[in-house]
Amino acid sequence: MSIFSSPAFEDHEGLHAFYDRPSGLKLLIAIHSTALGPAGGGVRMWPYPDDQAATDDALRLSRAMSHKNAMAGIELGGGKSVIIGDSRTDKTPAMFEALGRAVESLGGRYWAAEDVGVSPADMAHARTTTRFIAGLEGHPAASGDPSPVTAEGVKRGIELCARRTLGKSLAEIAVAIQGVGHVGALLAGKLADAGAKLVICDVGDAATSAVAARTGAKVVDPAAIFDVEADVFAPCALGGAISAETLPRLKARIVAGGANNQLADAVTGQALFDRGLIYAPDFVINGGGIINVAAEIRGIERGEAYDPAWVEAKVAAMIGTLGEVLDRSIAERRPADQIAVQMAKERIAAAKR
């Protein structure tokens, strides 16, 4: 399959492939749109089975970033990087220095930050060879790890959905969290502090044990998380969690989490809607992290310090946008993911005009 015939290709502006023999870096940077501003999106490292899988993921994730950034109301377009490799065994400082040179070669059309398999420490090495890196410490505009802001936005989104759908506060609901990595663990802490009952899973026993010890969460096997009795199912791992196979198993009334591309396809979104479940579109509810990154980029470009009040205003507006999506879904009798994509595309098209 070619790039242009991939189902994930949708008027992308560019797909850039980079290879650095000394470090072993195999990198794809996909730029979906720069209509709203330079493309912004994280760097993901994953042992993709082949080049096509990596290509499809880069295209799909960069398109999702365009939608996410548009719905977050920030001046960034959509981009994403994927490194082909195992983050547990293949990472080196030289690899991320090479990544920085690749980002630098794009001349500011793309700003990178950390994502799955990549840490702020890794990105600090990339920062030595390009200035177009965000999410780091050590300068006045620094925003730090974006995960806490992502988790805060998801918590507020869950709170909104629970109040509107169930008439309950966070202290009155049970939440099943799939994945307790950076965002999932922070989300679990925030929900537990608010009184929610938690059931969690993760592929790593150490992660689940640590979160369970802090929050009192019940731990289940990853294969069993879809069958848990809960009010909210919160996907916080990799994409595609909600599919034709897993949707019928859900007991929750609400799907709201931090993962990207939570729905396997548009058909699943329609099926979720037809079953009467409430879905908080992932690229709306999980936009807190990119808002935080945008604040850093804004500060760097303006020569200003990081502005937490600007971030708070944008996160609050993001939750307002989620409410608008849910209202329109009910009024128009259409799935929330379709409404959100339409709104994002309209905002991008308006910027192009």
> Are 39 and 76 spatial neighbours (Cβ–Cβ below 8 Å)?
yes
Residue 221, C-beta contacts closer than 8 angstroms, at least 6 positions apart: 201
CA distance 21 to 151: 37
The tokens of 214 are what? 């802090």
Q: Which of 80, 91, 155, 197 is an active site residue?
A: 80
3-state class (DSSP) for residue 285? helix
Instruction: Return the HEC string of 1-19.
Output: CCCCCCCCCCCCCEEEEEE
Residue 12, C-beta contacts closer than 8 angstroms, at least 6 positions apart: 30, 31, 32, 33, 59, 62, 63
> Are 120 and 144 spatial neighbours (Cβ–Cβ below 8 Å)?
yes
Count of beta carbons in the 10 Å neighbourhood of residue 308: 12
Q: What is the CB-side half-sphere exposure of residue 289 using CA atoms within 13 A?
A: 30
Angle, CA of 304, 310 and 311, to the nearest 5°:
110
Query: Which H helix or E strand runs over 112?
Result: strand 110-114
345 labelled catalytic: no
Sheet with 218-219: strands ordered across: 218-219, 197-201, 174-178, 232-235, 254-255, 278-279
Q: Which of 132, 120, 119, 36 is nearest to 78 (CA)?
A: 36
Q: Which of 173, 225, 181, 223 is nearest to 199 (CA)?
A: 225
Residues annotated as catalytic are 80
